[in-house]
Amino acid sequence: MKFIDDAAHGFASQLDGQWLGSYHDGAFFSFEYSKNLTGGIGGLAIFPPGMTGMTTPQQDWPELSCADEWRLLATLKAHLLSARWPLLGRITMAINRRLGLIYRSADAEVSQGMPHPVRAMPLLSTVLVRRQLAHLPATLAHKQALAQRYQQALAALPSITQWAVPAGAACHWVRYPFALSCPQANKAAVARRLSQASGLNIGVWFDDVIHPAGSFRHAYVAGSAPQGERLAATVLNLPMNIALADNAALAHKLDRLLAELRRIEKENIQ
């Protein structure tokens, strides 16, 4: 039996000094829109030598259709806009959706586990990934600075859970997670409230034990992963992106976030 790691957003991160994705026989990393290294969609896989079914030479892989290349470009653009201007990003995404210009996995892939056909990586994705790889050290340093800033700010509220990363450990953040002290019936509403108060884009990842929420759940029986369920109901996250400057404006936003978090934690106790 072979064991392949899901290291989807573990690229350039270590745990106890070992690179994520190097623990078992192989690993895959995702270049999907939301990941720390992104080409829009697609990914990178490391397979154990001699694994059957993976011997197709890459030159023979079909290219993305022209229509899908345009969809990919339009979807990427909307995600890029969202990183800086969430409202503009949402509007662009809504327009794309109406025009049928969203490039994403088919519904059957999520609900029925239909395999995705193999495709050559689109040129657009290749250019994007290579550019990010060239800037990787600077990106990691910037994210490290943001993480430190977040960690110090949230430390003022001891009821909030954080996950410390040892100094000097390689960590390629996707988002910066923190957890409230009590499970939230409507975590999305809490995230919206915090975003409005702070001006920071507060996320809800992950909001279900099985992701994406509302997908097939793959025979998951409620209650069988109590810690996972509790985390899904309490964890929120802060943005980790290179467009976000580590400056006085961010410090002000974090002050506002803390004030609102303090209110929420107090309401939860009552």
Ligand X SMILES: *Cc1c(COP(=O)(O)O)cnc(C)c1O
Q: Tell me whether residue 186 or residue 212 sits nearer to ligand X (CB atom).
A: 212
- The residue (of 8 and 27) whose beta carbon lies closer to ligand X is 8
Min separation Cβ 32 and ligand X, Å: 4
State yes or no: cis peptide before 212, omega within 30 of 0. Answer: yes
Instruction: Find out whether 250 and 149 touch, Cβ atoms under 8 Å.
Output: yes
User: Among 185, 143, 157, which residue's Cα sits nearest to residue 36?
Assistant: 143
Find the radius of gyration of the CA atoms of the chain: 20
Please, what is the minimum distance in Å from the beta carbon of residue 43 to ligand X?
5
Q: Residue 41 or residue 197: which is nearer to ligand X going by CB? A: 41
Report in angstroms how near the CB of residue 9 gets to ligand X at its nearest: 5
Using the minimum distance from each CB to ligand X, give the nearer residue, 33 or 178.
Answer: 33
- As a whole number of angstroms, the distance between CA 234 and CA 103 comes to 31
Which residues sit at the interface with ligand X, rule CB under 6 A?
A: 6, 8-9, 30, 32, 43
Closer to ligand X by Cβ: residue 25 or 32: 32
What residues are paired with 203 via a beta bridge? Answer: 237
Minimal distance, residue 206 CB to ligand X, in Å: 9
Tokens linked to 248: 């006085």
| Distance of closest approach, residue 129 Cβ to ligand X, in angstroms | 13
Give the alpha-carbon dihedral of 70, 72, 74, 75, to 10 degrees. 160
